[in-house]
Amino acid sequence: MAEQSVLILKGNIIFTPDARNFKVYRDSYLIAVGGVIREICPALPAQYQALRIHDYTNQLIIPGFVDLHTHGAQFNQRGLGLDYKLLDWLNRYTFPEEGKFSDPDYASRVYEAFASELIAQGTTRAAVYATVHLSTSRLLFAVLARRGLGAYVGKVNMDANCPDFLKEDTAKSLQATEEILAEWTGNSLVKPIITPRFAPTSTRVLMDGLGKLAIKYDAAVQSHLAENTGEIEWVRELFPEHREYHQVYQHYHLFGRTPTLMAHCIHLSDNAMESMKENQVIAVHCPDSNMNLSSGIMPVRKLLNAGVKVGLGSDVGAGHSLSMPQTMIRAIQLSKIKHALEAEHQPLTLPEAFYLATKGGGSFFGRVGSFEPGYALDALVINDTAAGWDMEPLEKLQRFIYTGTTADIAARYAAGRKIG
Ligand SMILES: [Zn+2]
């Protein structure tokens, strides 16, 4: 054990081992060895007593946040054009913005700012879209790896129904994807993920090739599913051979054949939900984006009751903020509106939303998002935002989630290393 680094954090430790309840260890020691959690102790065991303790007494220690759906290349587009719905928003704002990522200087500036903001907001793991451009997608991998974040990064594939300046040659798109897979598959923190933007911008040949690459490299997959009714209608016209949207991905081995994230999942049939459950496809709920693009409300309770795994995503730039606490709150608030409209749709609770943004989403990265033994030490230290007031640690956490800012996060750790 001597050659493995030991990290000891002391404070009020809070996490959600399950979605029902917060677990609170007051004034305790969180001990990690080689970046992996060993135990939580109320008193420091004898063998660690000569070691340095990172003393955060009176502060909170919580898991780092997991953002399962965000677009690094849309970071500079936050807040713009949000009076449009999805397809107009893509054509008028997103595609022109993503076109700028042929320029490495521009890409580098945006990706550095994106990584800085992820870290500031306490996100320690993220599933991120780049653009179709190979060279600047490589840049995004390099930036996130250098900053010490855990991530899945996708070079986007598009070879149909998009502007010429983004439309890829199918063979070249597959070749570029394979180059990235070969380069980054072995990395422990930043991994490649196969990323057809969505079915409408993909030919059948492209999806067939991507599915084969997913199997060959045992690579994860991410895309968008059933976000907007116009989009769903378009998929029906483009792929009349499939009865439902998700079956297009499924046909090409892009729906759970390897670990898969599907963003949005707002308008799904019971059959599609059943298929997500069966194939262990994770539905990523992006509440800001649901509202900003007037797409609808993801029926999160219905998916959870159907046994579908769910995570949370900021979906920047259709979402306007990388803050996962704000994403949690909006998920809760949307679920309350859904409940007002349909009484049987029970609202999300705070521990449920916290679970989705930590251990739930973290499961895509392995043992991530909890402080149980064997989990990666991804942790945030939260300042005592209620100093001077007589509040329990759990109340302080509630206050932070609803009213906290980046300035309230005193320290950040990803995979056992301090980042910032
Ligand atoms: Zn998206």
pLDDT in tens, 160-201: 999 999 999 999 999 999 999 999 999 999 999 999 999 999
Which structure tokens are listed for 31?
Answer: 């001990």
How far does the centroid of ligand 1 lie from the alpha carbon of residue 176, in Å? 21
CB atoms within 10 A of CB 183: 12
Tell me the mean pLDDT in the region 232-260: 98
Tell me the mean pLDDT in the region 140-149: 98
How far does the centroid of ligand 1 lie from the alpha carbon of residue 69, in Å? 6
Answer for the pair 321, 300: CB distance below 8 angstroms, yes or no.
Answer: no
How far does the centroid of ligand 1 lie from the alpha carbon of residue 63, in Å? 24
What distance in Å separates the CA atoms of residue 18 and residue 337, rounded to the nearest whole number? Answer: 25
How far does the centroid of ligand 1 lie from the alpha carbon of residue 224, in Å? 6
How far does the centroid of ligand 1 lie from the alpha carbon of residue 28, in Å? 39
Domain borders along the chain are 6-63+370-419, 65-365
Q: What is the pLDDT of residue 3?
A: 55
How far does the centroid of ligand 1 lie from the alpha carbon of residue 1, in Å? 43
How far does the centroid of ligand 1 lie from the alpha carbon of residue 153, in Å? 13
Fold classification of 6-63+370-419 is Urease, subunit C; domain 1 (2.30.40)
> Which of 141, 235, 147, 124 minimizes the C-alpha distance to 193?
141
How far does the centroid of ligand 1 lie from the alpha carbon of residue 177, in Å? 19
Pair type for strands 417-419 and 409-414: antiparallel
Answer for the pair 181, 213: CB distance below 8 angstroms, yes or no.
Answer: yes
How far does the centroid of ligand 1 lie from the alpha carbon of residue 74, in Å? 9
How far does the centroid of ligand 1 lie from the alpha carbon of residue 64, in Å? 22
What's the predicted TM-score (pTM) here?
0.97
What distance in Å separates the CA atoms of residue 271 and residue 8, rounded to the nearest whole number? Answer: 47
pLDDT tens-digit profile of 270-323?
999 999 999 999 999 999 999 999 999 999 999 999 999 999 999 999 999 999
- For domain 65-365, the CATH architecture is Alpha-Beta Barrel (3.20)
Q: What is the pLDDT of residue 1?
A: 44
**Mean predicted lDDT score pLDDT of the chain:** 97
How far does the centroid of ligand 1 lie from the alpha carbon of residue 18, in Å? 27
How far does the centroid of ligand 1 lie from the alpha carbon of residue 416, in Å? 29
How far does the centroid of ligand 1 lie from the alpha carbon of residue 335, in Å? 20
Answer for the pair 110, 73: CB distance below 8 angstroms, yes or no.
Answer: yes
Band of pLDDT at residue 366, cut at 50, 70 and 90? very high
Place of tokens 């499924």: 250
DSSP code at position 239: -
Alpha-carbon Rg for the chain in angstroms: 21
pLDDT tens-digit profile of 8-46?
999 999 999 999 999 999 999 999 999 999 999 999 999
Tell me the mean pLDDT in the region 247-261: 98
Q: Is 256 left (phi over 0), alpha (psi -120 to 50) or beta?
A: left
φ/ψ of 42, rounded to 5, equals -70, -25
How far does the centroid of ligand 1 lie from the alpha carbon of residue 142, in Å? 21
Sequence letter at residue 224: H
How far does the centroid of ligand 1 lie from the alpha carbon of residue 128, in Å? 9
Cα 379 vs. chain centroid, distance in angstroms?
16
Q: Is 194 left (phi over 0), alpha (psi -120 to 50) or beta?
A: beta
Q: What is the pLDDT of residue 385?
A: 77
Checking if the pLDDT of 2 tops 50, the result is no
List CB contacts of 135: < 8 A, sequence separation 6 or more: 104
Place of tokens 């969505």: 198
How far does the centroid of ligand 1 lie from the alpha carbon of residue 19, in Å? 25
Band of pLDDT at residue 4, cut at 50, 70 and 90? confident
Checking if the pLDDT of 88 tops 90, the result is yes
Q: What is the pLDDT of residue 346?
A: 97
How far does the centroid of ligand 1 lie from the alpha carbon of residue 339, in Å? 25
What distance in Å separates the CA atoms of residue 184 and residue 180, rounded to the nearest whole number? Answer: 6
What distance in Å separates the CA atoms of residue 90 and residue 196, rounded to the nearest whole number? Answer: 15
Which structure tokens are listed for 213?
Answer: 């690459």
How far does the centroid of ligand 1 lie from the alpha carbon of residue 38, in Å? 36
How far does the centroid of ligand 1 lie from the alpha carbon of residue 61, in Å? 30
How far does the centroid of ligand 1 lie from the alpha carbon of residue 263, in Å? 7
How far does the centroid of ligand 1 lie from the alpha carbon of residue 403, in Å? 26
> Which of 314, 326, 369, 371 minimizes the C-alpha distance to 127?
314
CA atoms within 13 A on the CB side of 309: 20
Q: 3-state DSSP helix/strand/coil percent for the chain, to nearest 5?
A: 40, 25, 35
Q: What is the pLDDT of residue 387?
A: 76
How far does the centroid of ligand 1 lie from the alpha carbon of residue 238, in Å? 20
How far does the centroid of ligand 1 lie from the alpha carbon of residue 48, in Å? 45
Q: Assign 208 to helix, strand or coil.
A: helix
Percent of the chain with pLDDT over 70: 99
Min mean pLDDT across 64-68, 87-91, 165-169, 405-409 is at 87-91
How far does the centroid of ligand 1 lie from the alpha carbon of residue 313, in Å? 9
How far does the centroid of ligand 1 lie from the alpha carbon of residue 315, in Å? 5
Which structure tokens are listed for 378?
Answer: 């991804």
How far does the centroid of ligand 1 lie from the alpha carbon of residue 71, in Å? 6
Answer for the pair 8, 31: CB distance below 8 angstroms, yes or no.
Answer: yes
How far does the centroid of ligand 1 lie from the alpha carbon of residue 222, in Å? 10
Band of pLDDT at residue 388, cut at 50, 70 and 90? confident
> Which of 250, 187, 273, 227 minimizes the C-alpha distance to 85?
227
Q: Assign 220 to helix, strand or coil.
A: strand
How far does the centroid of ligand 1 lie from the alpha carbon of residue 59, in Å? 35
How far does the centroid of ligand 1 lie from the alpha carbon of residue 14, in Å? 30
Tell me the mean pLDDT in the region 58-85: 96
Tell me the sheet residues that pair with 123. 65
Total residue count of the chain as it appears in this document: 420
